[in-house]
Every structure is written in structure tokens, then in C-alpha cells.
Amino acid sequence: MSTIFQFIGLFAISNLIEQSIACSGWGYVDSGKPGNVILVKNRDETAAPQYVELVKYESGYSYIGLFLKNRDGSFATKAGVNEIGLVMTILAESTQLEAPHMCPGDRSASDIIKDTLLHHDSVEDVKGSAKSLFSKAAPAFYMLADKKEIIYVEIAPKPQGKCNTSGTTTNEYSITTQDDNGYIMHTNHYNVSGKFSQYNVKPYPSTYSRLDMLKTLLGSDKNTNTIDQYLAYAHDQTNGPNDSLFRYNVGKNLEQTLATWIVQIPQDGSAPILDVTLYQNVEVSNSVAEIKESVHKQVILTPDVFRSFEPLLGNTEICVDKEVDGSMVRGQDEL
């Protein structure tokens, strides 16, 4: 039996993206009146097409996602926000372990994000379903936010770094909420004070410098915790091309910051705001990166946005696909 699935384009640019090994995420929960929750992801990868799309199924919540198209034609989900206002992003686990990262029976990050945004309406709901969502996840870090709180989820490697031949081995996970001041941040290593710190065998070098910079910026008296302020932080180049929050292609380093995803959720129940920047052309002069071209859009996520069949920010594409093994596929493009 076929199921209708709609993949509706918002906007897209082809700036040539591969396997990610670095991203930065941070957020803030304002307990004032009126308060806001804001979550940010800077996405760093090598070049390939990336898209922001509206996804609708016959059942479940609609959601807007940030996707990349892999070299094999499949799509990978990197961030999303659903019509209820639940936000989810993924950060790569880049501790450079020798252990296998994917085992038979593991769920892909895209599948976990899709499942979460389709079927969950709050962070509390996700925490209640954490075992089913994350115990079969490959090592990674997820950040989630709603109008009340932000968490990050750390997925540990397999015990002894080995896959169970039957595919039944489960992973441990831990959940951390924003601190007492309302802040939360994560890069690409396990929390050094957390239960999985022993897995930081050889972390990606810039992961510590980016986290230290986030602590500095968020702890500054000048920090206003606004979308504009956080977008400025996303462009920070204080520590050079490889170790800054905004990373750019220099020499043999092929990674750069390709997107900034920001969602602000008002606590008074008004519509969330999605602010997305896709960086298309960054030129480097005197060791400073200048953003020459980008697509920057800010959208108030009213119910009409999620109901609309009209293109919001680009070309519309509607697909009718079949259900295969319980998963929707878009032709050969797995979502």
C-alpha cells in the first residue's frame, strides 16, 4: 500500500558536503517574562549540496529540516523543527576512536531525527522515549529544545568497541539539561565531567577550542541571547581558520562552516522563529574569511507554514513514494 509523502523545497544551494567531523551547538533558556528558548547549530563539513525542506507524511507532525545530499544520492538530516515547536540537531562524535561506529541493527541519525520530529511534541516526551530512540543509535550527540528546556544526548560507543554479531548490542546514553544559568553547549567530544569522558581517546583538535570560545562568549556581560547576537557568535573567527566557531577552507583543510541553524521559541506560546544561513562562497584574505555569498532567511513558523503546499523559499517538489520495510523512501533518496 502506498503512502503519500511530500518533500517541499524551501531553499537550496549546491556548495559542494561529505562526512562531518565538526559542528558546534549552543543554546539558552530564558526564565524571565516573557522568556525565550534559543538553540543554535553551526554545521561544518566538506562540500556537497544542502537543502532546507518542509517534510510532510500522512500521519505525524510536519517538520522543516536541514538536509545534505550524499555522494550516493541519499539524504542525511542535520537539524529540524516540527510544527509543535520541537527542535533537534545532531553533532558528530569525533573522538577518532578505532572502534566501529555503526553496527548491524544501529539506527541512522536521519532515522532518529525523523522519528523524533514526526512523533514527539516536547523534550519531556523525548526523554520518556529515550530508550527506544537512542539505545540503538550509533555514537553521536543530539541537542533538543522546546519552549521549556534544552538538552543534549550523548551516545556512547559499543562495549569494548565491538559489534554483537546478532546486531542486538545496545548503546548507553546520557542526557544533560541546560545549566543553572540557562546555558547549554556542545561540540564534538564527550563531556569531560560526564560518564563517557573515557571515550575522548583522540578528539578532533578544534572541539576543545570551540567549546572554550562558547563559554567565553556566552559568559560575557555583552551577551544578549538574541538571534542577531548568536548569529554574530556563529561568525566568530578569533582562533583562526580551523579552531574558530566559523571555520573556513584554508590549505589542506577541506572543512568549513556551511550553515547556521537557529530556532527561537517564545515561552508565551507564540510562533517560533527559524533563522537559517547557508554559506555559498567564502573568500579568505589576510587569514580572515569574508562571506561573499549566502542565503539567509528568517521565517516565523506559523501553522500555515507547515500546511502550505506552496514554495516558501524556493522550488516545490512533491513525491508520492512507497513504504519499504516500515520506512518512507523518496525514490532512492533515503530520508
CB 292, CB 281: distance < 8 Å: yes
As a whole number of Å, the end-to-end CA separation of the chain is 19
Q: Which residues, in sequence order, are CB contacts of 94 under 8 Å at separation 6+?
A: 21, 22, 188, 189, 203, 204, 207
Domains in the chain: boundaries: 2-205+301-334
Check residue 98 and give its pLDDT: 59
Domain 2-205+301-334: CATH class, spelled out: alpha beta
Instruction: Tell me the longest C-alpha to C-alpha distance in the chain.
Output: 59
Amino acid letter at 90?
Answer: I
Cα separation, 139 vs 195, whole angstroms: 14
Q: What are phi and psi of 41, to 5 degrees?
A: -130, 125
Check residue 166 and give its pLDDT: 60
Check residue 320 and give its pLDDT: 24
List of long-range contacts for 323-330, beta carbons under 8 Å, 24+ apart = 323/1, 323/2, 323/3, 327/111, 328/3, 328/5, 328/57, 330/5, 330/7, 330/75
Cα separation, 236 vs 24, whole angstroms: 12
Amino acid letter at 178?
Answer: Q
Check residue 56 and give its pLDDT: 87
> Whole-prediction pTM value?
0.86
Name residue 294's beta-bridge partners.
279
What is the full per-residue pLDDT of the chain (335 aa) written as tens digits?
Answer: 233 445 455 555 444 333 446 799 999 999 887 789 999 999 998 777 788 888 888 889 999 999 887 777 778 899 999 999 999 999 998 886 655 567 777 888 999 999 999 999 999 999 999 999 998 888 899 999 999 999 999 998 876 656 766 655 678 899 999 999 999 999 999 999 989 999 898 888 799 999 999 999 999 999 999 999 999 999 999 998 889 999 886 555 578 898 999 999 998 889 999 999 988 777 777 778 888 778 888 999 999 988 875 444 433 332 222 232 333 333 223 33
Q: Report residue 113 as a C-alpha cell.
A: 531525527
CA 59 to chain centre: 23
Check residue 165 and give its pLDDT: 61
